[in-house]
Amino acid sequence: MDCQRDQWAGTGSGALFLRILAKQFGSCKQKKPLPLPLPIHLKISYMSYIEPAPIKDRENPLESMMKRFDLAAQILGLDESTYNVLKTPTKQVIVGLPITMDDGRVRVFEGYRVIHSNVLGPAKGGIRFDMDVNIDEVKALAAWMTWKCAVVDIPYGGAKGGITCNPREMSAGEMERLMRAYTVALLDIFGPDKDIPAPDMGTGPREMAWLMDEYSKSHGMTVNAVVTGKPLVLGGSLGRVEATGRGIMVSTFAALEKLKINPYQATCAVQGFGNVGSISAKLLAERGLKVVAVSDISGAYYNENGIDIEKALAYRDGNKGTLAGFTEATLIPADDLLTLEVDVLIPAAKEDVITEDVAHTLRCKLIVEGANGPTSAKADAVMAERGIKAVPDILANAGGVTVSYFEWVQNRLGYKWGLDRVQRRSDRIMKDSFERVFQAANKYDVSLRIGAYIVAIDKVAQTYKWRGGF
């Protein structure tokens, strides 16, 4: 990847749904792994309201994240010993969880928790319930969280957890028993000063409430700060639901300012109309950007005069969560949204949508990555050659973990912040983080993506050495 050319270059379903996906994306072909001893298989499916994490690159399972990580380490001149420490998890736990199912049978589920690093502070990372969860995936996700927290200067290390199960086929009672068993099995791992879980794929505020309750019962007192992403009545934070979308809005305006693009004359297309995409579109439209296209599972919707996002949200919420049949815009093929001639493109739906081939057909000036890993590594070089700028996911969608941190702080203080304070402080962190990444990209004459990795790796490496190193 030639990142020297441009300092901004960039990141229950049924059989019918599976056939649609297969037709759209084709099959995955594995290639030979990189020769370096780098973190392994990266895979994630995008869900709204989760902490960002790495994904499976259909071109190569390691390429999208690890090529960038390795390049940043080389630019920093990271010595071999520090490199080996940063890529190796601090702790890995695998547990068997016997659960009585509703039909009386006992099934044993396998659960995982990996702490990649606790150099910067207690570990932080989500818990996912999914059939594809495995120890290799969780190790990769935990490493990603280390860099995510470091780039926004949050005093957390990275962690991740999961249980191999299908939550769509489980009752609420089975889910509760499973989460409580997982919590009991990891009582010596979790803790407000050790490892702080959060929602991820297949989990949400309900599951975090169960975790908090089980942990609290074992300690004989209420311990709100052991987990984030809780319901508001149990110590959750105001502003958490919209935090990721708000961070994308802040990142977009920061990038437009650097590019000298007038936001009041700019157009925008948003792929994905779930939690992240819809809130991003709403906040951007409120501040003057003309959102001309949005999309969801039903297709893409285009209106050259701008879509009324409030109407689109109301329609979606009253139409079983989909935009199907929305008449305020023209239905176009879903893939066409990515190649519209707009100033800003926000991929906020799925991973790996901007491949090398797609990068050749892009007509936007700026990409702000709302989803996790929407841009493949091979697309970076194409975008650099074509002068297309990108704010990487590791920076752009960090608003979620930032407000998760605020939730933990409020729980520790025993004092709840108002929405204005949460938003003001999260906006400042996002702006400051963008500026640090931008300065690093300028200093080393690399893309914002590599600049973000440089900021994160340098922070963790320096902290490690100051604490005593090896």
- Spatial distance between the Cα atoms of 338 and 245, rounded to a whole number of angstroms: 19
With a CB cutoff of 8 Å and minimum separation 6, the contacts of 31 are: 59, 60
Query: Distance of CA 189 to CAs 92, 113, 146, 186, 420, Å?
Result: 10, 9, 17, 5, 34
Catalytic residue among 124, 160, 230, 350: 160
Give yes or no: 160 in active site: yes
Catalytic residues: 160
